[in-house]
Amino acid sequence: MSEADTKSRGGAIDPESYPTLSPETLRGLVAQETPALEEFFDAYFDRIYGYVRRLVQREHLAEDLTQDIFLHLQQAFPKYDPTRELRPWVFTIATNKIRDFWRSRQHRASQLEKSTELDDDFHFDLPSAAEGPETALSREEIEEGVRQAVEELPEGLRVTVVLRVFEGLSFEAIGEIVERNEVAVRKRYSRALEVLRQSMRGSLREEL
């Protein structure tokens, strides 16, 4: 995997940073035209990998799963309706692939291993300010605590948090992806935030 493929796997994605694919490109995806597929790959690879990596802890498994998702997307494009918003459609396919992985023997086996690959792929953008060494250390500790708390969420709650916080999707779009109505998604998101708050409070108490 090239450096270009791995450059944008940091914190939350600004929805406005997604390149807008033209109607011609969307129709080209349906026709599986090479220039359209290349434009889509450049626009979405890092985003999809970042999404998978936050939900699948081992890096090599996330890489394999991302490749599998893009192969599935390429095969599915002839059935895509170019008048439909692309991003929720893409993340629906990615989420379904992740669910299939979670049900697999490979996932169960990976859960038995202690991951030694948890690196800075999970970066949380906290408010910046002029920092001394102690403040910088505190920021790193907070980021690590939040990352671990997100990883420990039940899988369904984790998907909702990642789609909302990191991908900036609306509750309505998330509902389409996880096959729940908007009210249910809002409740799930609120529950996830409460679990995260409790987890962070517990971590702070342990450090005191």
CATH code at 192? 1.10.10.10
- Do 16 and 66 lie in one domain? The reply is yes
Residues 181 and 146 in one domain: yes
Q: What is the pTM of this model?
A: 0.69
176 is a domain residue:
yes
For 64-84, write each residue's pLDDT tens digit.
Answer: 999 999 999 999 999 999 999
Helices and strands, number each (H, E), in the chain:
9, 0
Q: Quick one: pLDDT band at residue 43, thresholds 50, 70, 90?
A: very high
pLDDT digits (tens, 9 = 90+) for 110-149: 544 434 333 444 444 434 444 444 444 455 555 666 677 7
Residue 93 shares a structural domain with residue 153: no
Count of the separate structural domains present in the chain: 2
One domain, residues 13 and 113:
yes
When mean pLDDT is compared across 3-7, 27-31, 101-105, 141-145, the lowest value belongs to: 3-7
On whether residue 13 sits in a domain, the answer given is yes
Q: Is residue 193 part of a domain?
A: yes
**What CATH number is attached to the domain comprising 97?**
1.10.1740.10
- Model confidence over 138-188: pLDDT tens digits? 555 556 666 777 778 888 888 998 898 888 889 999 999 999 999 999 999
- Looking at the fold, whether 110 and 145 belong to one and the same domain comes out as no
Give the domain extent around 142: 132-203
